[in-house]
Amino acid sequence: MAMAQREKITLATLRARKKSRIPITMLTAYDFPTAQIEEAAGIDCILVGDSAAQVVLGHSSTLQATMDFMIPITAAVRRGAPTAFLLGDMPYLSFHVNTEEAIRNAGRFMAEANCDCVKVEGDARIVDTIRALTAATIPVMVHMGLRPQAVHQAGGYRAQGRDAKSGQRLIDEARRMEDAGACALLLEAVPPEPARIIAESTDLPVIGCGAGPYCDGHVVVLHDMLGLTAGPLPKFVKRYGDIRDQMAAAVRAYLADMVDRRYPAAEHCYQMEPGEAAKLHPAPRSNP
């Protein structure tokens, strides 16, 4: 029996979740079948993150993600998850040059990938961009705290807001983002104390990514929580599976079956109609 399709998750849904203190669920996805799985599981929000540059393409940072890469994979995720709240991650330099280019690129996410929202990384210096995108009717989530696109400027992947001065700066900037028209905030690698003040002092949904238990929801990179990512994980990631080991075991089993000629077996073959095989004969050799 087919599962009934749920109602579309909208920004109003997320605001209602916050008001009712119901945690907002969010994961990343980068392809159609993964989006189908997350949709069927009931995930509220799916972020097509520029982290795809790392976990899908194998780059060392997110900076190599481009608009021409992000738009098709985001559109694929939308086809797999029609009712989830879909966020497209604005890649490096896609919204920094000028507001006109920012609007054009964000508009591609909305029109070509059918997103519900775009996500931009930034601090107080992008307030005018947030205001311009909002004026262009484009919902914007602002990614604050640790910003992977600014990792070289920050000197590495380091938690932010760990002292009172920098924590207060995050609190003040969050207010400025709200005033500029942001529809949601994402806090990455931020201690629980400033994250709590931000979440409790705004009506905006606040999503944590290593920002403690007081945010309105949380997001992690799917490949990290499933064990697909090789090497050490961020401190805030809880591993829920070992898919990498399972895939490796499946590949080894396939290899062994092939070497020992156990695959393909008769049950994996298409059979000719009775008596038809006897009518076949080798094709004549051509003259050299």
**Could you give phi then psi for residue 269, rounded to 5 degrees?**
-110, 150
Contacts of 277 (CB under 8 A, 6+ apart): none
- How far does CA 71 lie from the centroid of its chain? 13
Contact status, residue 48 vs residue 72, Cβ threshold 8 Å? no
Contacts of 97 (CB under 8 A, 6+ apart): none
Contact status, residue 48 vs residue 88, Cβ threshold 8 Å? yes
Cα dihedral value 167, 192, 234, 102, nearest 10? -50
The whole-angstrom separation of Cα 214 and Cα 139 is 23
| The pairing of beta strand 184-188 with beta strand 206-209 | parallel
Q: Annotated catalytic, 267?
A: no
* Cα dist from 226 to 46, 242, 268, 269, 276, whole Å: 16, 6, 31, 34, 49
The active-site residue out of 112, 178, 188, 193 is: 188
**Could you give phi then psi for residue 29, rounded to 5 degrees?**
-155, 150
Residues annotated as catalytic (active site), given as ranges? 188
